[in-house]
């Protein structure tokens, strides 16, 4: 059985868009402004100012935006701030060395800035995911009805995966429709058409347009499934899908309690 595997991060389209729309205009404007009082601003100080702009853009848009802005910063530095002015030629060896140092340092610092931002986002996402699992576990320990736990799990799944709808179906399934399944390791099988991308929390892919499902197991038996219908264009990461499976497991744990299968109206929880 084929599965969706995680693809390397690849091209960050959002970062490139931020680089083109914000980063490049920003460094061009800053370099042009620095060129007005050339006698008062050394080339080294001008390069440092441009580097600050690169770091700021990298912190906003990520590594791709930072690298694109760094390249534009070097060209702007060359065009506005080195002799001959308003040309991409560089006559001075010192200015050439400064331009090269600006490019190398801006790329390195921009990459570090974007990595730090992504790490902070992932930490925040991890804390949120833990709270989601905890809320479902609390409902499982306090609720008298399985349907109450399912309702909480649905809310958390919708928020976690940014779903349009999420419904629970008890086995056997009346519609007879099989959706691509999210397995316990977060992979999706069988393999539909893949659309990769990036979210704020990392690289991933969009769930299939027709929906996906997470089986719910109780004592090794499949007793139901959550059917997930995604919003278009929303990327889900591997970590998010693994958390979704953990949320579904909480429902299976409640159902597996003595007398759990006797609780009513499970197929009506929508």
pLDDT digits over 143-197, tens only?
Answer: 768 888 999 999 999 999 889 999 999 888 877 778 899 988 888 887 655 565 5
Same domain assignment for residues 147 and 261: yes
Cα–Cα dist 14/35, whole Å: 31
Dihedral angle of Cα 2, 12, 64, 68, to the nearest 10 degrees: 130
Q: Would you say the C-alpha torsion 38, 42, 43, 45 has a positive or negative sign?
A: negative
91, two tokens: 């006559």
Q: Is the pTM of this model over 0.85?
A: no
pLDDT of 39 > 90? The answer is no
Cα–Cα dist 41/51, whole Å: 15
Cα–Cα dist 20/61, whole Å: 11
93 occurs within a structural domain? yes
Task: Answer whether 213's CB lies under 8 Å from 228's CB.
Answer: yes
Same domain assignment for residues 26 and 111: yes
Same domain assignment for residues 91 and 168: no
**Number of domains, the chain:** 2
Question: What are the pLDDT digits (tens) for 119-139?
Answer: 666 666 777 778 888 888 888
How much is the pLDDT for 196? Answer: 55
158 occurs within a structural domain? yes
How much is the pLDDT for 6? Answer: 45
Cα–Cα dist 37/33, whole Å: 8
- Residue 203 belongs to what domain range? 143-268
168 occurs within a structural domain? yes
Domain final residue pick, 60, 87, 119: 119
Rounded percentage of the chain residues whose pLDDT exceeds 90: 21
How much is the pLDDT for 184? Answer: 85
How many CA atoms are closer than 13 Å to the CA of 156, on its beta-carbon side? 29
4 occurs within a structural domain? no
Same domain assignment for residues 110 and 171: no
Cα–Cα dist 258/270, whole Å: 24
50 occurs within a structural domain? yes
DSSP 22: I
Q: What is the mean pLDDT of residues 4-25?
A: 70
pLDDT of 65 > 60? The answer is yes
Q: What is the mean pLDDT of residues 68-75?
A: 90
200 occurs within a structural domain? yes
Same domain assignment for residues 218 and 110: no
Task: Give CA 241 to chain center in angstroms.
Answer: 12
Q: What is the mean pLDDT of residues 45-70?
A: 86
Cα–Cα dist 217/224, whole Å: 7
pLDDT of 232 > 70? The answer is yes
Cα–Cα dist 33/76, whole Å: 11
């Amino acid at each position: 059985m084929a599965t969706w595997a995680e693809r390397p991060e690849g091209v960050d389209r959002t970062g490139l868009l931020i680089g083109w729309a914000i980063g490049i205009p920003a460094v061009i404007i800053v370099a042009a402004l620095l060129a007005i009082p050339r006698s008062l601003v050394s080339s080294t100080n001008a390069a440092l100012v441009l580097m600050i702009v690169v770091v700021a853009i990298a912190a906003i848009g990520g590594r791709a935006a930072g690298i694109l802005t760094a390249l534009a910063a070097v060209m702007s530095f060359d065009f506005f701030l080195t002799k001959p002015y308003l040309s991409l030629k560089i006559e001075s060896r010192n200015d050439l060395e400064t331009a090269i140092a600006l490019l190398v340092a801006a790329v390195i610092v921009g990459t570090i800035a974007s990595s730090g931002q992504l790490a902070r986002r992932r930490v925040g996402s991890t804390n949120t995911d833990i709270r989601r699992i905890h809320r479902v576990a609390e409902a499982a320990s306090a609720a008298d009805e399985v349907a109450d736990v399912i309702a909480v799990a649905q809310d958390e799944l919708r928020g976690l995966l940014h779903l349009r709808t999420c419904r629970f179906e008890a086995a056997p399934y009346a519609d007879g429709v099989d959706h691509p399944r999210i397995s316990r390791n977060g992979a999706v099988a069988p393999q539909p058409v893949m659309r990769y991308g990036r979210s704020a929390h990392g690289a991933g892919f969009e769930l299939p347009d027709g929906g996906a499902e997470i089986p719910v197991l109780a004592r090794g038996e499949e007793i139901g499934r959550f059917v997930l219908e995604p919003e278009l264009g929303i990327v889900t990461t591997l970590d998010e899908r693994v958390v979704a499976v953990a949320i579904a497991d909480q429902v299976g744990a409640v159902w597996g309690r003595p007398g759990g299968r006797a609780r009513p109206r499970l197929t009506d929880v929508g």
